[in-house]
């Protein structure tokens, strides 16, 4: 039988979230699902314990520092945010205005002026073009005034983008800031961040590296899935005792914590919209999802 190569093939619709408008109650649940949340897990707990040890360390001439590295979207930033929330005063606190923990995203342009501006923005401090020395003095004064005890610098792998001499100035600035204020600096980034700090022997010794590994298909991963889904408030209990569904989620998220949380949140929303109210193989089948490595290949 000859096949007509030009015959119209039946269209197979791509998976997508249902477009039916949910009820007001369902909308409220979906809105809560989309909020960021933190679920305890061993590797994350170890990072938080390291941060707590640094935070509580007595002031010394050479404060201990740390470099937390992991693959992209594996939970580094979520841990930094959680630590900041837990240690910075809330708005209703008499201590509100103090900033014991400062979180800064490393700018994509790598020089000491850009670093100072990024920290001042994090402090919501007014700043304008000025000599670098004036900005540096303002930075040190403000960090002391708000009671800063730890500086967290995320995405330090951005330092690789700049010129070698600019990078060296930023690295020396980190060391000088830590020494002058006698506070720990925590750098966070990808594996490339390790290369940044190993270019300077003193910094390599000062910033002790700590890796945040990907998940494996394990009982611990299944427990993490169960804890996360429990917070999604689905009406049916999702089962993660089977290696099949745990392995399926692991493969879709490629063992990354951030991807796992995003996948489960999308699956929870799908379960509510469809009325199934459970995350199972059928829910995962209907989910519009591309695994992280395929996204990077598509981008190329």
**Joined tokens for residue 85:** 């929330």
Report pLDDT digits (tens) over 87-134: 999 888 888 889 999 999 998 877 898 899 999 999 988 777 778 899
Which has the closest alpha carbon to 245: 265, 214, 270, 221? 221
270-278 contacts, C-beta under 8 A, 24 or more apart = 270/17, 270/18, 271/234, 272/22, 272/26, 272/29, 272/30, 272/33, 272/234, 273/17, 273/18, 273/20, 273/22, 273/26, 273/30, 274/18, 276/236, 277/234, 277/235, 277/236, 278/234, 278/236, 278/237, 278/238
| Per-chain mean pLDDT for the chain | 89
Question: Which is nearest to 200 in space by CA: 157, 152, 167, 233?
Answer: 167
Q: Which of 211, 239, 273 is the last residue of a domain?
A: 211
**pLDDT tens track for 228-286:** 999 999 999 999 999 999 999 999 999 999 999 999 999 999 999 999 999 999 999 99
| pLDDT at residue 222 is higher than 80 | yes
120 and 257 in a single domain? The answer is no
Question: Do 110 and 158 touch, CB atoms closer than 8 A?
Answer: yes
Would you say 183 and 148 are in contact if contact means Cβ atoms under 8 Å apart?
yes
Distance CA 116, CA 258 (A): 29
Are 205 and 233 within one domain? no
DSSP state of 95: T
Beta bridge pairs of residue 189: 69
C-alpha 225/C-alpha 239 separation (Å) is 9
User: Which pLDDT does position 6 carry in this prediction?
Assistant: 45
Cβ(267)–Cβ(279) under 8 Å? yes
- Domain boundary (211, 228, 248) is at 211
What pLDDT digit, counting tens, does each position of 32-43 carry?
Answer: 999 988 999 999
pLDDT at 83 over 90: yes
Q: Which CATH number is 67's domain given?
A: 3.40.50.300
Phi and psi at residue 234, in whole multiples of 5°?
-75, 150
| Nearest in space to 213 (alpha carbons), one of 74, 82, 77 | 74
Identify the residue whose tokens are 């060391």. Answer: 175
Q: Distance between CA atoms of 246 and 223, rounded to whole angstroms?
A: 10
CATH code of 229's domain: 1.10.8
- What range defines the domain where residue 63 resides? 42-211
Quick check: is 192 in a domain? yes
Q: What is the pLDDT of residue 110?
A: 73
Whether residue 166 is found in the same domain as residue 52:
yes
pLDDT tops 60 at residue 16:
no
Give the pLDDT score at 300. Answer: 57
Co-location of 86 and 175 in the same domain:
yes
Residue with the two structure tokens 């689905």: 234
**Residue showing tokens 């699956």:** 267
For residues 189 and 155, membership in a common domain is answered with yes
pLDDT at 5: 42
Structure tokens at 165: 């001499």
Helix spans in the chain (H): 24-33, 42-55, 76-87, 112-122, 132-145, 164-181, 191-198, 201-206, 219-230, 243-253, 257-274, 281-286, 292-299
Indicate if 176 and 257 belong to the same structural domain. Answer: no
- How much is the pLDDT for 195? 83
- The torsion defined by the Cα of 232, 236, 238 and 239, in degrees rounded to 10, comes to 150
Among the ranges given (13-17, 136-140, 236-240), the one the predictor scored with the smallest mean pLDDT: 13-17
Residue 293 counted as domain residue: no
Last residue of a domain, which of 211, 244, 264? Answer: 211
pLDDT surpassing 70 at residue 3: no
Cα distance between residue 259 and residue 253, in whole Å:
5
- Residue 75's pLDDT band (boundaries 50, 70, 90)? very high
Output the pTM of the full model. 0.87
The model's pLDDT over 169-221, given as tens digits with 9 standing for 90+, comes to: 888 899 999 999 999 999 999 998 888 787 777 777 889 999 999 999 999 99
Alpha-carbon distance values, 195 to 78, 188, 207 (Å): 23, 12, 12
pLDDT in tens, 142-180: 999 999 999 999 999 888 887 888 888 888 899 999 999
DSSP string, 115-165: HHHHHHHHTT----S--HHHHHHHHHHHHHHTT--EEEEE-GGGGGGS-HH
215: helix, strand or coil: coil
């Amino acid at each position: 039988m000859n096949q007509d190569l030009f015959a119209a093939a039946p269209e197979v619709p791509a998976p997508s979230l249902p477009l039916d408008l949910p009820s007001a109650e369902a909308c409220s649940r979906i809105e809560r699902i989309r909020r960021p949340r933190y679920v305890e897990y061993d590797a994350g707990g170890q990072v938080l314990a390291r941060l707590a040890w640094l935070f509580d360390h007595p002031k010394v001439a050479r404060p201990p520092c740390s470099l937390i590295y992991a693959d992209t979207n594996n939970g580094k930033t979520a841990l930094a945010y959680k630590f900041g929330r837990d240690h910075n005063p809330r708005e209703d606190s008499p201590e509100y205005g103090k900033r014991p923990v400062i979180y800064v995203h490393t700018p994509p342009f790598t020089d000491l002026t850009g670093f100072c501006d990024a920290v001042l923005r994090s402090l919501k401090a007014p700043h304008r073009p000025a000599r670098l020395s004036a900005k540096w003095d303002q930075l040190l004064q403000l960090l002391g005034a708000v009671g800063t005890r730890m500086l967290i610098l995320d995405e330090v792998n951005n330092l690789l983008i700049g010129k070698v001499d600019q990078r060296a100035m930023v690295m020396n600035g980190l060391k000088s800031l830590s020494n002058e204020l006698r506070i720990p600096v925590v750098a966070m980034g990808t594996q490339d961040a390790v290369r940044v700090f190993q270019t300077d022997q003193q910094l390599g010794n000062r910033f002790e590296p700590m890796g945040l590994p990907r998940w494996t298909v394990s009982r611990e991963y299944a427990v993490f899935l169960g804890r996360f889904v429990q917070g999604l408030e689905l009406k049916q209990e999702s089962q993660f005792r089977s290696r099949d569904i745990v392995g399926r989620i692991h493969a879709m998220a490629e063992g990354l914590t951030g991807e796992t949380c995003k996948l489960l949140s999308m699956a929870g929303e799908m379960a509510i919209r469809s009325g199934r109210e459970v995350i199972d193989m059928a829910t995962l089948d209907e989910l519009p999802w591309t695994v992280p490595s395929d996204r990077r290949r598509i981008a190329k």
